[in-house]
């Protein structure tokens, strides 16, 4: 059992981190949560470890999002004024470009319904249709339909932002 889990850790850890990163948008936090998921898996020895790992990861990400909302509200209450934004250090052009691209994808993902987003992220993490169906409560036959809609909407939302960005740059110049 432990050997199976170790193999799962080696083959799935990165996918779990990516899955969590697209929910919490913090690389360090995503790694911490992913490690927490595998530590819990070692303690529980689940029957279907792969599905279990992603289910727990989704729950942890949800808890994290709630805690973040609470933290934000608390800070706002403490300061009595909007929280200050973190001012990033000047970064290399490459990094800036990457951040911009990522921000667009993030906004495009945010434009999806929670169910479409979940199905898309689970599919990208390598989950099969039956596993996705089991985790989301959808029928296996509905996974294909949901995935088709999610892919289309993600690309549409992203392209729309690209067009708006181009128009914005043109207006500035």
Partner 1 sequence: MRHIPEEELHAYLDQALSRSQCVEIEHHVSECVACRRERDAIAALRDRTTALLVTASPRWIHSRPYPQLAEVLLERQDRRRRWRRVAWAASLVGAVGLGWGVSRWQVSDAAPPAAVATAPVPPPADTSPTDSRTQPATSPARSRAPGPAGATPVRLAGAPRRAAESVDPSQPTVPAPNGAELLSSGDTDGQGAPVFDGVWRTVSWDRASEASGAWVPRVEGVPVVQVKVRQTPHGGRPLTVVTQQLASGEVISTVEGPAAEVASLLSRQPGQSATAELQDLPLAAGTADETSNSVGAAQPGAARTLAIIGKLPADSLKAFMLKVR
Q: Which residues contribute to the site for partner 1 (CB under 8 A)?
A: 6, 9-10, 13-14, 17-18, 21-22, 27, 30-31, 35, 38-39, 42-43, 98, 101-102, 105-106, 108-109, 120-121, 123-124, 128-129, 143-145, 147-148, 151-152, 154-155, 158
Q: Which two tokens stand for residue 144?
A: 């294909």
What sections of 25-139 are H helices per DSSP? 27-44, 49-79, 93-110, 114-124, 129-136
Closest distance of CB 69 from partner 1, Å? 21
Cβ closer to partner 1: 42 or 65? 42
Q: How far is the CB of 87 from partner 1 (least distance, A)?
A: 20
Distance from the Cα of residue 64 to its chain's centroid: 12
CB of 21 to partner 1, least distance (A): 5
**Which residue's CB is nearer to partner 1, number 75 or number 96?**
96
CA distances to 31, 67, 70, 77, 78 from 84, rounded to whole Å, are 26, 18, 16, 13, 13
Return the number of the residue (107 or 167) whose C-beta is nearest partner 1: 107
Q: Between 80 and 90, whose beta carbon lies closer to partner 1?
A: 90
Q: How far is the CB of 78 from partner 1 (least distance, A)?
A: 30
User: What residues contact residue 112 under an 8 Å CB cut-off, 6+ apart?
Assistant: 120, 150, 153, 154, 157
Nearer Cβ to partner 1 (63/100):
100
Q: What is the residue whose two structure tokens read 């089991």?
A: 134
- Backbone φ, ψ for residue 51 (5° rounding): -65, -40
């Amino acid at each position: 059992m432990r050997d199976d889990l170790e193999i799962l850790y080696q083959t799935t850890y990165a996918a779990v981190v990516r899955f969590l990163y697209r929910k919490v948008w913090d690389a360090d936090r995503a790694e911490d949560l992913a490690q927490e998921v595998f530590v819990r898996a070692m303690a529980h020895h689940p029957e279907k470890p792969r599905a279990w790992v992603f289910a727990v990861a989704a729950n942890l990400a949800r808890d994290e999002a709630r805690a973040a909302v609470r933290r934000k509200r608390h800070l706002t209450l403490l300061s009595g004024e909007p929280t200050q934004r973190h001012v990033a250090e000047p970064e290399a052009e490459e990094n800036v470009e990457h951040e911009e691209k990522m921000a667009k994808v993030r906004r495009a993902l945010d434009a999806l319904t929670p169910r479409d987003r979940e199905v898309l992220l689970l599919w990208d993490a390598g989950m099969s249709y039956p596993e996705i169906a089991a985790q989301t409560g959808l029928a296996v036959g509905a996974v294909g339909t949901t995935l088709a809609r999610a892919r289309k909407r993600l690309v549409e939302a992203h392209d729309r932002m690209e067009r708006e960005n181009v128009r914005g740059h043109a207006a500035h110049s």
